[in-house]
């Protein structure tokens, strides 16, 4: 469970929480006594984050029984996260039709029968940032200040040679304004066209596989802090016409991973998402560069160079120490022993570069940390509109927030300019290689052998890695050198 920053100002909201939950700070000014301690019984000793983890260990029947025990349990057992997790776990392969909320969706799918929508019952006296904040960030408007800054070059009619000299070699992002508009998909792609061409095709949306009608129903009804979005690497195989409706921009035409043929790592995805969905801070896999072309909608982008960690980050020099909780509970004669870890919030790249953790959602990061971007080194930012494509250099941090419903194509690639970095990563970070399944550990040898055969003019030799000094701490800059593996 990730501990959130306390909420002091919910003035941007114009509606009450559907179950009557209020921020913790309101307890000090409210005349309504708390219903938590009396209503939760022995569960009252748990912080809210851990209580939700405990409830997530139960099943739907038990949660419904607990909901009838007290007003406090009614509110906690209607929290969306456990029901969402169960829906994605139990119906990932067969799909589901979203109805009203995740609880209603799960129960309807579980019972295999339609259910009448039920209006939430609001009760006074429960004060919880853990329950209040997801709803607050789901309902909060995207603020104008978040989209005002736009400082990335926009270029028209940029030649491939100019792109290499002016942007790829110096590692500088750039927006091309005249490429996506030439793609067939720019004129064709809308919901009617996609439903017709893809029919019953299931696309990956987090752990779930949904048809486009199922995903559209979700987008139309769901209101949540971190919406699902389609991020599918096999879209052109599942629905070949989608792969024929676009072409790689000539500026990014050279991709050295192509020498591996069908054994290359995953490299292209279709992205479909609602407003407020997006991608938290990360660095692209295997030290590749990338491009992202927007066919429909608008996306807010923030980018930092490799040696600049985004605001709100934790580093090995200022570690976040977790707290361990061990809990025994007897629930309806069933004993459970559960272990939990609680952390503070922020953006945390691991010391060895194996992973990055951003426990806060994208909107929460904007709300709590975006102002800090004005104080230190400023990121590059833009609103990428439909018809535009953005180049993201190797190893650059980036965050993406969909401002509207959007459809995009993205690809990762390797050129002679970033080949040495990629080879070094594949050799020295074998356990972090992404997009190859179990073959990631051998990608370095296979890739270098294929390059030597098909592109012998390229230098594939790299210096031996430096021996690490056990007592030496990693510098802050080194924490940005990690791979983000797409699921």
pLDDT tens digits for range 38-74: 999 999 999 999 999 999 999 888 999 999 999 999 9
Q: What is the pLDDT of residue 110?
A: 85
Assess whether pLDDT exceeds 70 at residue 446. yes
* Rounded percentage of the chain residues whose pLDDT exceeds 70: 83
- pLDDT tens digit sequence for 255-301: 999 999 999 999 999 999 999 999 999 999 999 999 999 999 999 99
Quick one: pLDDT at residue 8? 43
Q: What integer pLDDT is reported at residue 361 of this predicted model?
A: 87
What average pLDDT does range 468-473 have in this prediction?
52
Taking CA atoms, 286 is separated from 9, 139, 248, 391, in Å, by 41, 36, 20, 16
Tell me: the pLDDT tens digits for 258-268? 999 999 999 99
Sorted by sequence, the CB contacts under 8 Å of residue 226 that are 6+ apart come out as 277, 361, 362
In angstroms, the CA 396 to CA 333 distance is 53
- Predicted confidence at residue 313, as pLDDT, reads 62
Q: Where are the alpha helices (DSSP H) in 169-259?
A: 184-188, 191-198, 212-221, 235-238, 240-244
pLDDT at residue 468, as a whole number:
60
Residue 476 has pLDDT above 80, yes or no: no
Angle at 306 between CA 305 and CA 308, to 5 degrees: 70
**Residue for token digits 């593996």?**
485
Average pLDDT over the chain reads 85
What pLDDT is attached to residue 261?
94
Q: Using alpha carbons only, how large is the chain's radius of gyration in Å?
A: 24
User: Which secondary structure element, helix H or strand E, spans residue 394, and what is its range?
Assistant: none
Per-residue model confidence as pLDDT tens digits over 209-241 = 999 999 999 999 999 999 999 999 999 999 999
CA-closest candidate to residue 397, choices 227, 279, 235: 279
In this predicted structure, what is the pLDDT of residue 14? 54
Q: Which long-range contacts (CB under 8 A, 24 or more apart) does 27-33 make?
A: 27/127, 30/125, 30/127, 32/124, 32/125, 33/125
The pLDDT assigned to 379 comes to 96
Question: Predicted confidence band at 13 (pLDDT cuts at 50, 70, 90)?
Answer: low
Residue that wins the pLDDT comparison between 482 and 389: 389
Mean pLDDT of the 479-484 span = 39
- Judged against a pLDDT cut of 90, whether residue 469 lies above it is answered with no
CA distance 310 to 30: 37
Percent of the chain with pLDDT over 90: 72
Q: How many CA atoms lie within 13 A of 90 on its CB side?
A: 18
What distance in Å separates the CA atoms of residue 65 and residue 333, rounded to the nearest whole number? 14
Beta bridge partners of 39: none
- Residue 116's alpha-carbon distances to 62, 64, 81, 87, in angstroms, are 21, 16, 21, 19
In whole angstroms, give the CA distance from residue 61 to residue 115: 16
Q: Which residues 6+ apart lie within 8 Å of 291 measured at CB?
A: 249, 252, 389, 390, 391, 392, 410, 411, 413
- pLDDT at res. 334: 43
**What local confidence, expressed as pLDDT, does residue 479 receive?**
39
DSSP string, 364-376: HHHHHHGGGGGTS
pLDDT value of residue 201: 96
347 DSSP assignment = B
If one compares 176 and 280, the residue with the highest pLDDT of the two is: 176
**pLDDT at residue 439, rounded to an integer:** 86
pLDDT at 482 over 70: no
pLDDT (0 to 100) of residue 111: 81
pLDDT of residue 464: 82
- pLDDT surpassing 70 at residue 123: yes
Return the pLDDT at 276: 93
CB count in 10 Å sphere of residue 192: 8
Would you say 209 and 218 are in contact if contact means Cβ atoms under 8 Å apart?
Answer: no
The pTM is what? 0.84
Q: What is the pLDDT of residues 389-415, one digit of tens each?
A: 999 999 999 999 999 999 999 999 999
Is there a contact between 295 and 408 (Cβ–Cβ < 8 Å)?
yes
Instruction: Return the pLDDT at 5.
Output: 52
Number of Cβ within a 10 Å radius of residue 95: 17
CA distance linking residue 77 with residue 121, whole number of Å = 12
- Measured CA to CA, the distance from residue 320 to residue 349 in angstroms comes to 11
- Say if CB 337 and CB 326 are below 8 A apart: yes
pLDDT digits (tens, 9 = 90+) for 320-357: 444 444 444 444 444 443 333 333 445 544 443 434 44
Tokens encoding 85: 């997790």
Helix (H, G, I), strand (E, B) or coil at 342: strand
Residue range 127-144: average pLDDT?
93
């Amino acid at each position: 469970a990730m501990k959130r920053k306390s909420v002091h100002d919910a003035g941007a909201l114009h509606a009450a929480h559907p179950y009557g939950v209020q921020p913790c700070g309101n307890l000090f000014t409210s005349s309504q006594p708390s219903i938590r301690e009396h209503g939760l019984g022995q569960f009252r000793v748990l912080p809210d984050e851990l209580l939700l983890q405990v409830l997530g260990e139960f099943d739907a029947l038990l949660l419904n029984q607990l909901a009838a025990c007290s007003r406090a349990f009614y509110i906690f057992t209607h929290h969306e996260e456990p029901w969402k997790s169960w829906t994605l776990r139990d119906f990932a392969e067969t799909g589901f039709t979203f109805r009203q909320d995740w609880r209603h969706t799960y129960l309807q799918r579980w019972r295999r029968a339609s259910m009448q929508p039920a209006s939430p019952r609001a009760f006074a006296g429960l004060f919880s940032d853990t329950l209040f904040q997801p709803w607050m960030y789901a309902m909060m408007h995207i603020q104008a200040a978040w989209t005002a800054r736009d400082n990335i070059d926009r270029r028209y009619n940029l030649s491939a040679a100019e792109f290499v000299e002016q942007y790829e070699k110096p590692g500088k992002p750039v927006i091309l304004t005249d490429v996506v508009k030439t793609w067939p998909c720019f004129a064709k792609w809308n919901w009617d066209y996609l439903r017709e061409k893809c029919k019953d095709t299931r696309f990956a949306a987090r752990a779930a596989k949904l048809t486009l009608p199922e995903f559209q129903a979700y987008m139309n009804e769901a209101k949540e802090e971190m919406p699902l979005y389609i991020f599918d690497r096999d879209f052109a195989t599942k629905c070949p016409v989608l792969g024929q409706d676009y072409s790689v921009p000539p500026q990014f035409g050279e991709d050295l991973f192509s020498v591996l043929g069908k054994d290359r790592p995953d490299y292209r995805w279709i992205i479909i998402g609602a407003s407020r969905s997006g991608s938290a801070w990360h660095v692209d896999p295997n030290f590749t560069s990338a491009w992202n072309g927007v066919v429909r909608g608008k996306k807010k982008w923030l980018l930092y160079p490799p040696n600049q960690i985004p605001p709100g980050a934790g580093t090995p020099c200022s570690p976040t120490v977790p707290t361990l909780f061990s809990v025994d509970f007897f629930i309806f004669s069933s004993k459970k022993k559960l272990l939990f870890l609680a952390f503070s919030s922020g953006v945390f790249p691991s010391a060895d570069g194996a992973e990055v953790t951003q426990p806060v959602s994208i909107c929460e990061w904007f709300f709590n940390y975006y102002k800090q971007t004005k104080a230190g080194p400023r990121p590059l930012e833009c609103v990428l509109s439909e018809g535009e494509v953005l180049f993201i250099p190797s190893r650059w941090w980036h965050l993406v927030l969909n401002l509207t419903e959007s459809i995009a194509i993205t690809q990762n690639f390797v050129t002679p300019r970033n080949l040495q970095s990629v080879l070094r990563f594949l050799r020295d970070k074998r356990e972090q290689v992404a997009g190859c399944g179990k073959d990631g550990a051998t990608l370095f040898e296979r890739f270098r052998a294929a390059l030597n055969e098909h592109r012998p003019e390229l230098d594939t030799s790299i210096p031996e890695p430096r021996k690490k000094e056990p007592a030496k701490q990693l510098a802050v800059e080194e924490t940005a050198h990690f791979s983000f593996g797409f699921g």
